[in-house]
Copies of this chain bind each other. A is one copy, B any other.
Amino acid sequence: MKCSDLGEFELIARLARTLPHDPSVVGGVGDDCAVLRSRDPSRYLLFKTDPVIEGTHFVFRCSKKTKVPPATPFQVGWKAMARNLSDIAAMGGVPRWALVSLGLPAQTDVKAVDGIYRGLNACASQFGALIVGGDTSQTSDKLFVVVSLVGEVEKNFLKLRSAARAGQRVFVTGALGGSRRHKHLTFTPRVEEARWLAKNFPVAAMIDVSDGLAGDLRRLSEKSRVGFDILADAVPVSAAAEKMSRTDRRSPLGHALRDGEDFELLFTMDANYADDLLRRWHRKFALPLASIGVVTKFPDRIRFIGAPTSEVTGYEHFR
């Protein structure tokens, strides 16, 4: 059997099944980051790695077939850092230290490497992370950048995927879909917003939307053993998703539900706080925040009310 027959999630699940349990691990495979008991009794360490690979997560040259716009080296570095920051944010945490592993084809222009470093540093410093080391290796074909990130979170601010409960409201930041037109290379990881949420509101479950809203609701559903009723009309659809739907056969909502790499925050919270949250959020941030539905008690039942059921499958890298 080939990897392409299994899909990314199943490949990760195979790894998860082989791992021993240990009291130092609060959460691990299956959440945005590993959550580790450090020697500080008030905080957990967060630990995450996520690669950016030429041809999979970006292209340097425009492909006529996929019409994906090419990335600059700066954008490749930015994205490689921002993806990891987004995962630390989704746990309610603060990024601290990053390492960079670069795989470079021998013919790579050194200027491109410098551009990648600039993008990595710009993104890290904007969000309070520090690059503390790196490594380069030669690869024969496609360039890759793997960032590893250590962060920390006060124990009472930790947000897990498993904390959604029936009756809670569901919220999502920003606008979804069509990220590969541009946003996936330049997006803002929601570190500041997530910290503000964790400090000011009793957010229950939180995740960053990286595999499409439908796919990431599925993940929350599995971890929390709940279902979701989402109002299709309430899902914030990006202008890029609208544009893409004009040239392909998919609806703007389809893009918003299934496209990957939005890197927005998706979270649940007791309905009583919803009005206060929305009022204070809009005073504080220009970024949209939408209340898109409710958590239900039916595990694995994810309904998009008002949307065709053909549009609810999540995005995976392997297919």
B29 and A134 form a contact (CB under 8 A): yes
Q: Which of A57, A99, A103, A140 has the most CB of B within 10 A?
A: A99
Write out the residue numbers on chain B whose beta carbons fall within 8 Å of the beta carbon of A47.
Answer: 97, 99, 132-133, 148, 150
Does A110 interact with chain B (Cβ within 8 Å)?
yes
User: Which candidate, A32-40, A163-171, A242-250, is the interface stretch facing chain B?
Assistant: A32-40
Write out the residue numbers on chain B whose beta carbons fall within 8 Å of the beta carbon of A130.
Answer: 19-20, 22, 24-25
Q: Please, how many angstroms separate the alpha-carbon atoms of A148 and B57 in the complex?
A: 20
Q: Please, how many angstroms separate the alpha-carbon atoms of A135 and B52 in the complex?
A: 11
Does A74 interact with chain B (Cβ within 8 Å)?
no
Q: Please, how many angstroms separate the alpha-carbon atoms of A47 and B117 in the complex?
A: 19
A141 and B142 form a contact (CB under 8 A): yes
Write out the residue numbers on chain B whose beta carbons fall within 8 Å of the beta carbon of A45.
Answer: 97, 150
A1 and B110 form a contact (CB under 8 A): yes
A12 and B136 form a contact (CB under 8 A): yes
Does A4 interact with chain B (Cβ within 8 Å)?
yes
B141 and A104 form a contact (CB under 8 A): no
A317 and B138 form a contact (CB under 8 A): yes
Q: Please, how many angstroms separate the alpha-carbon atoms of A148 and B51 in the complex?
A: 12
Does A96 interact with chain B (Cβ within 8 Å)?
yes
A148/B49 contact (C-beta < 8 A), A132-B29, A317-B137 known: yes
Of the A-B pairs whose beta carbons lie under 8 Å apart in the complex, a sample of 11, sorted by A's number, is: A3-B108, A20-B125, A24-B96, A34-B99, A36-B97, A38-B39, A39-B43, A47-B97, A47-B150, A49-B135, A49-B146
